[in-house]
Amino acid sequence: MDQAERELLAETLRKTMTAASGRALDSALADLGWAELLAELPDVAVPLTFRLLGETGAHAPLLNDVLLRAAGRPPGGTTALPYTGGAWVRWERDDRESTALDGDLPLRILPTGDPLTDPALAAGRRALGWWLLGTGRAMLALARTHVLDRTQFGRPLSSFQAVRHRLAETLVDLEGAEATLLAAEDGLGSLLAKAAAGRAALTAARHCQQVLGGIGFTAEHGLHRHVRRTLVLDGLLGSARELTREVGALLRESGTAPRLIQL
């Protein structure tokens, strides 16, 4: 797929995600050929689609498809997903009520589940990493617009260094996370990328919430949806904190720090 085709695909996906979410988006994407795209061009399809879910704020149960594919099964069903703290959830393919902090996501708590295979875990973590990254970028975009538009003390908020540095920090974390996602190939790389993306999105949530002040605390402003999504997605297939600890244990056992990325 060349650059122009990729841009066209991104445009189409973005439009579709802006128009629909949840079950409606799931079927719209099916009509667009999501299954074929995932089967034939996973390295294009997954980063692009999941990042755009984050950026647009839409959601769809596509994580199931990524995991099913890694297990050699056809897309369209669901699979039990490990959640932080030893819990299990199912991401349903309909728009049911949910008790999740992000109530839009049709997550159902399960008593238990079958452990995912390593390739499935890695693929799922990369997909979620891209989603978290997109969510982080969405929050940064909202905060950026706000600080440029709003005036206090006779100056735009964007002229205050404390505000600027918070947003700069956010960008640094997001860019770093994106680099780890682009470099993620094996299980450890995918784990690190999910941890970096989770951390970056949490940083974005904290800083963007702060610079948005009171308006960002209202339900009318879009920020809270992204904050909720960040918190919930971070826990799926291992939170940033859990994954960081896991990699620390791995390092301690092996006694050396793997150099995953080579020139």
Partner 1 sequence: MSSTHMNVADFRSGLRTWLDRNDLSPGPDHSLDGQVAQLARVRRALFDAGWMRYGWPPDVQGLGGPAVLRAVLGEEVAERGLAEPGIYSMVEVLVPTLISYAPPALARTMVPRLLSGREQWCQGFSEPGSGSDLASLTTRAVPREGGTSHSSGAESGGDWVITGQKVWTSLAQYAARCVLLTRTGPGHGGITAFFVDMDTPGITVRPLRTMHGVDEFAEVFLDDVVVPADRMLGRPGDGWQLAMDLLPHERSTCFWHRIAHLFTRLDRLLDETGDPDDDALGAAYLALHTARARSHATQRRLAEGAVLGPETSVDKVLLATAEQRLFDTARDLLPGVLELTDSPWREEYLYSRAATIYGGTAEIQRNIIARRLLGLGKD
Distance in angstroms (rounded) separating the CA atoms of residues 60 and 52 = 11
Residue choice 175, 185, 186, 213 for contact with partner 1 (CB under 8 A): 175
Which stretches of the chain are DSSP H helices?
3-19, 22-32, 34-40, 42-56, 62-70, 118-149, 161-183, 187-212, 223-235, 240-254
Put residue 166 in one of left, alpha, beta given phi > 0 → left and psi -120 to 50 → alpha: alpha
Cβ closest to partner 1, residue 94 vs residue 259: 259
Distance in angstroms (rounded) separating the CA atoms of residues 50 and 60 = 9
Rounded to the nearest 10 degrees, what angle do helices 118-149 and 223-235 cross at?
A: 160
Contact between 133 and partner 1 by CB under 8 A: the answer reads no
- Reference 174, options 213, 208, 222, 223; nearest CA is 208
Contact between 4 and partner 1 by CB under 8 A: the answer reads no
Using alpha carbons, list the distances in angstroms from residue 132 to 42, 79, 182, 192: 18, 20, 14, 13
Q: Please count the residues of this chain forming the interface with partner 1, following the rule CB under 8 A.
A: 43
Contact between 85 and partner 1 by CB under 8 A: the answer reads no
Residue where the block lists tokens 């049911």: 96
Residue choice 169, 206, 209, 221 for contact with partner 1 (CB under 8 A): 169
Binding mask 236-255 for partner 1 (x = CB under 8 A): -----x-xxxxxxx-xx--x
- Reference 53, options 80, 91, 90, 88; nearest CA is 91
Contact between 177 and partner 1 by CB under 8 A: the answer reads yes
Contact between 144 and partner 1 by CB under 8 A: the answer reads yes
Contact between 3 and partner 1 by CB under 8 A: the answer reads no
Strand partners, 88: 82, 110
Residue choice 183, 185, 213, 218 for contact with partner 1 (CB under 8 A): 183
Which region among 19-27, 99-107, 141-149, 223-231 touches partner 1 (by CB under 8 A)?
141-149
Binding mask 198-227 for partner 1 (x = CB under 8 A): -x----------------------------
Minimum Å distance from CB 42 to partner 1?
A: 20
Contact between 167 and partner 1 by CB under 8 A: the answer reads yes
Binding footprint of partner 1 on the chain (CB under 8 A)? 144, 147-148, 156, 158-161, 164-165, 167-169, 171-172, 175-177, 179-180, 182-183, 192, 195-196, 199, 241, 243-249, 251-252, 255-257, 259-261, 263
